[in-house]
Amino acid sequence: MTIWIIRHAQSRSNAGLPTIGPDDNGLSELGYAQSNCIPIVFKQSPDLIVTSPYLRTQLTAQPLIEQFPQTPIEVWQVQEFTYLTLPLDRPTTPLMRKPFSEAYWDRCDPHYIDGINAESFTQLMERVQTALQQMQQQSGFVVVFTHGLFMKAMLWQILANPGVIDTVAMRRFHHFWQGFRVPNASILKLQFSADGIPGWSSFITDHLPPELQSSVSEPTVAVQSSSTYEIMDAGDQPS
């Protein structure tokens, strides 16, 4: 059994554009170009294609679905970690959400729920464990289109195997999350041995031409802090 886990292509939010809530976040123009490159690496038809409920994974998967129209499609709860309650009456950008994101991680309460349409860190990790169990139950060749922070949470669960999700565990995950990048439209190949031990590849981006690589597709943006500006990466945020 082989599983390819694919981060969605560049979203409108990744590009720094305003969006309303987690669902109103399709692909940028560059994201559509990235998604069209994904089928290039497939030499055989998948036995199952999985997306999250969010539009950006479904749009990213569409070129592959069109290439293999007979492959079954399922929607799993592998959507991004939505830990902030975003206004549904006006669009916001990653820049506008940054202070609220920082406050959330400073709080570091794994059971805190910010409000409607948000979830706690504990709930995220429950979804991660469910997704890993679903993957182990599959056979053949499965492709899962998901999100960057969710992929990091999956790897952290495999590596750290935290027995208890408490403040210490949440803080450790935050440090883990910040330690590496998951490029848009990258592929992580995951395999489980007969006794359930996972192994995985690096994040593969060879299918993307240089102009579509994450170093180009994930620009930095200026963030105002008091009277100065600092530079943050807009592309690897949970979006």
Per-residue pLDDT of the chain (239 residues; tens, 9 = 90+): 899 999 999 999 999 999 987 777 899 999 999 999 999 999 999 999 999 999 999 999 999 999 999 999 999 999 999 999 877 778 999 999 999 999 999 999 999 999 988 999 999 999 999 999 999 999 899 999 999 999 999 999 999 999 899 999 999 999 999 999 999 999 999 987 777 777 888 999 999 999 998 643 343 333 333 222 232 334 445 55
Q: By residue range, what is the domain housing residue 164?
A: 2-233
Q: What pLDDT was estimated at residue 193?
A: 77
Q: What are phi and psi of 120, to 5 degrees?
A: -85, 165
119 assigned to some structural domain: yes
57 assigned to some structural domain: yes
239 assigned to some structural domain: no
Cβ pair 239, 10 in contact under 8 A: no
Total domains in the fold of the chain: 1
118 assigned to some structural domain: yes
55 assigned to some structural domain: yes
Report the CATH number that the domain containing residue 50 is assigned in CATH.
3.40.50.1240
Q: Is residue 196 helix, strand or coil?
A: coil
pTM for this prediction: 0.89
- Cα angle 215, 198, 179 (rounded to 5 degrees) comes to 35
238 assigned to some structural domain: no
Cβ pair 171, 165 in contact under 8 A: no
